[in-house]
Amino acid sequence: MNEKSALIFGQNDYTFEIQKSISSHYENIHVLTLNGDDEFGFDLSDEWDALSNIVDMNDCVVFCILEDMAENIFLTISLRDTFKELTIVALARDKESSDKLILAGASRVLPTISTTANVIVEMLEKPIITEVLHNILYEESDLQIAQIKVENPDMFEAKYPADIDWSRDHGIIVISIVHEDMSSEFIYASKEKHHIIRSGDIFVVVGYAQDIKDFEKLIGSRCE
């Protein structure tokens, strides 16, 4: 995600939290209100020309977070119709609206109910895992999760990822590898050896900040 601006469609409780969370990633964040009167107001009438006055639509990510799912889906389909390459992140309540939003052209969907349910169940059933994941995601401990792009595959001497002792050699744990074709694979997905590390692969790693930095230097660059 290298866009400079973010547009948030919808003014509600989610707006504040999303705005707060993504503020460090974007130079400009604009919140647009449905049926608002000022320049940051919008309606669902397909008139998106005014948006170009606010941000460069080619360098922007859009969050569709209207609470009325029918309106949110309509907004998503309307934006996709006008901006074919735009990154659209949409809020979905349940699986049904999640599927519809993907059909409507959303790049990513944030399913609120199923994600909330997953986290609540994890909290109860796997409290330690939840705490650890929470600390990693919220960066409340020194542990971090990062994605690192391989630019120097020669150092692995054509080894299979599962054969490398990441934790002992580099002090980090590799969870999964995303190949160039964007297919993702868990490090020990099967007992078979599938893939030799190539340039352009992305590692998802967990570790302490310094270890991750050292690892980055060794194999490539952090992928933002």
Partner 1 sequence: MFKRLIVDWAYFLNTSDAYQKKKLFFYNLLENSNYKYKKYFDLFMIILIFISVVILVREVKSHVDDSLLFFNNYIISIIFFIEYMLRLWVISSVTKVIIEQSEYDAMLGNEFQVLKPIKEITKVKVKYMLSVKAIIDLLAIIPFFHQLRLLRMFILFRVFKLFRYAKSIQTFTSVIAAKKFEFLTLLVFASIIVFVSSVLIYVMEANNPDSPIDTLFEALYWSIVTISTVGYGDITPTTEAGRTVAMFVIVAGIAVFSFTTSLIVTAFTEKLDEIKDLKLIDDIAKIKEFYLICGYENLSKEVAKKLSINNKVIILEEDPLKVEQATKDGFVALNHDPGSIDSYKKLRINVGTQVKAILCLSHSDVENVYTALTVRSFNKDVFILSILINKINRNKLNFAGVNELFYEKKLVGVIAKEFVGQPVAFEAIHALRSNYNGIDMQEIIINDRVLESFVTVGQLENKRYRVVLLGVYKKSKKRFFFNPFDSIVLEVGDYLLVIGNGQFIDEFSNYLHKKGSK
CB of 159 to partner 1, least distance (A): 14
Token code pair at residue 120 = 């609540």
Any contact of residue 115 with partner 1 (CB under 8 A)? Answer: yes
Any contact of residue 218 with partner 1 (CB under 8 A)? Answer: no
DSSP 104: T
- Give the residue with the Cβ less far from partner 1, 33 or 130: 130
Any contact of residue 112 with partner 1 (CB under 8 A)? Answer: yes
Residues numbered 10-29 forming contacts with partner 1, rule: CB under 8 A: 13-14, 16-18, 20-22, 25-26
Task: Choose among 65, 145, 61: nearest CA to 110.
Answer: 65
Residues numbered 65-104 forming contacts with partner 1, rule: CB under 8 A: 89, 91, 93-94
Any contact of residue 56 with partner 1 (CB under 8 A)? Answer: no
Compute how many other C-beta atoms are within 10 angstroms of the C-beta atom of residue 203: 24
> Which of 50, 103, 120, 209 lies at the binding interface for partner 1 (CB under 8 A)?
120
Applying CB under 8 A, which part among 44-52, 75-83, 163-171, 212-220 lies near partner 1? 163-171
d(CA 32, CA 53): 13
Interface with partner 1: number of residues (CB under 8 A):
72
Residues numbered 131-150 forming contacts with partner 1, rule: CB under 8 A: 131-133, 135-138, 141, 143, 145-147
d(CA 97, CA 80): 17
d(CA 83, CA 58): 8
Write the DSSP string, 137-166.
HHT-SSEEEEEEEES-GGGGTT--GGGS-H
Applying CB under 8 A, which part among 40-48, 72-80, 152-160, 171-179 lies near partner 1? 171-179
Asked if residues 35 and 91 have their Cβ atoms less than 8 Å apart, the reply is: no
Any contact of residue 165 with partner 1 (CB under 8 A)? Answer: yes
Any contact of residue 123 with partner 1 (CB under 8 A)? Answer: yes
Residue at 2: amino acid letter: N
Any contact of residue 187 with partner 1 (CB under 8 A)? Answer: yes
131-145 burial, b for 16+ CB within 10 Å, e for fewer? eebeebeeeeeebbe
Any contact of residue 196 with partner 1 (CB under 8 A)? Answer: no
DSSP 163: G
CB of 211 to partner 1, least distance (A): 9
